[in-house]
Chains A and B, each alone.
Chain A
Amino acid sequence: MTEFLAYAVERYTYWAYVALMLIGFYAMIAHGNLLKKLIGMNIFQTAIILFFLSISAKRGATLPIIPPEAGELVVAPPHFMNPLPHALMLTAIVVMVGTLGVALAVLIKIHRTYRTFEEDVILRQT
C-alpha cells in the first residue's frame, strides 16, 4: 500500500494532466452550450501541451540557452533541458489560436441564424 502511495505521489504531475484532460473532454461532450464546448476544447488542448512540455524537464538542468562563452567547448546535454518539445508546442499553440478564431467566427454565424448558443434549441429549430 505504501509502495503504491509513494509511486502515485512520484507521478503526481500525470494525475493533474489526466484531470485537466477529463475536465476539458467532459465540457466538450456534456455541455449543451456551444461557447462552453469551446472553453472545454481550450482546456483539453492546453492539457496536452502541458503534458508534452513536462517531458522536456530534467532535474538540475537549466534553460536550453547555450552561453556564448561556451564556444567550442562540448556542451553537456544533461545540463540543459530538452528543447524539442518546446519548439513543437510553440507550433501547437499557433494552431490552437487558429482553430479558436475560426470556431468563434462560426459561433457568431450560428448565433446570427438561430439567436442562441444552446445546442438543443438549435436542433429543435432545424
Chain B
Amino acid sequence: MSEVLNALFLALLVILAGAAVRVRDLVGAVLILSAYGLTMSLVWAGMGAVDVAFTEAVVGAGASTVFFLATLLRTLPREQPRERRARPATLVGVLLLGGLLLLAIHEFPAWSDPASPASLHVSPRYLRDGYRETGAPNIVTAVLADYRAYDTLIETVVIFTAGVACWLLLPRRDP
C-alpha cells in the first residue's frame, strides 16, 4: 500500500475510534466499531499481514458486532449513556500516558525500515529454513501450526474456557 493511502486509513481509524467512543446511541456506537474493525483489517492487509487481516475482518468486524448486538437485544437498555464531565484526574492520567508513549517514539525504528532490530535478529532464520523444515510455503502458518503447535493447541483450551464461562454466566431462557 502506498504511504499516502496508509496515512489516510490511519486518520480514518482515529476518526472512527473517536466517533465510536463519542456517539451516545449504543447501537450506533457498535456499528461504528464494526466499521472501525473493517478499516483496521484493510490497514493490516496493506501492511502485509494478510492472515491477521482475514481474522480481524471475520472476528473484529463480524463476530464482535454480532456479540455486541446480541447483548443489546438481550438487555434492551432504555436509557442513553449519560454525558459526564471528565474529571481532571482522568484527563491528567490520559495525557500522562500519552506523553510517556510519545517520549518512547524516538526509541523505535522508522516505519518499514528493513534494518529494524526485529527484522534482523530471529525472523531471518524462520524465513530461510521454514519452508524446508515444515513444507508450508506460508511461514506464518509454519510458525503457528508447526514451531508453535502446542501454543496453538492450548489456545483452543482458552476458547473452550471462554465458551464454558459464557454458558455458565448467561441466564437460562426458562428460569
Residues of A bordering B, CB below 8 Å: 7, 10-16, 18-27, 29-33, 35-36, 38-40, 42-43, 46, 49-50, 53-68, 70, 72, 74-75, 77-78, 80-87, 89-91, 93-102, 104-109, 111-112, 116-118
Contacts and interface: CB of A to CB of B under 8 A. Distances in A.
B17 A93 contact: no
Given A10-B111, A111-B75, A118-B81, A84 B122 contact: yes
A35 B94 contact: no
Nearest to B123: A82
A107 B79 CA distance: 15
Contacts of A10: 110-111
Given A22-B97, A57-B112, A85-B118, A43 B48 contact: no
A104 B162 CA distance: 11
Contacts of A18: 98, 101-102, 105
Contacts of B142: 83
The list of the 3 closest CB pairs from A to B, nearest first, reads A77-B124, A98-B162, A33-B81
Interface string B145-158: 00010011001001
Interface in B40-58: 40, 43-44, 47-52, 55-56
B48 to A, nearest CB: 4
B21 A40 contact: yes
Contact of B51 (A14, A21, A90, A109): A90
Given A23-B14, A40-B21, A100-B64, A108 B7 contact: no
Query: Which of A25, A40, A72, A81 has the most B CB atoms < 10 Å from its CB?
Result: A81
B140 A64 contact: yes
Contacts of B30: 35, 39
Nearest to A29: B90
A57 B49 CA distance: 8
Interface string B15-29: 001101100001001
27 contacts: A14-B111, A18-B102, A22-B94, A23-B18, A29-B93, A30-B84, A33-B81, A35-B26, A35-B71, A43-B36, A57-B112, A60-B114, A61-B48, A66-B127, A77-B119, A80-B139, A82-B118, A84-B126, A90-B52, A90-B144, A91-B152, A96-B59, A98-B162, A102-B162, A105-B169, A108-B71, A116-B79
A60 B140 CA distance: 19
A68 B14 CA distance: 40
A27 to B, nearest CB: 4
A123 to B, nearest CB: 13
Contacts of B49: 53, 56, 81, 85-86, 89
Given A21-B97, A23-B17, A108-B170, 5 more contacts: A24-B17, A39-B30, A68-B137, A83-B126, A106-B169
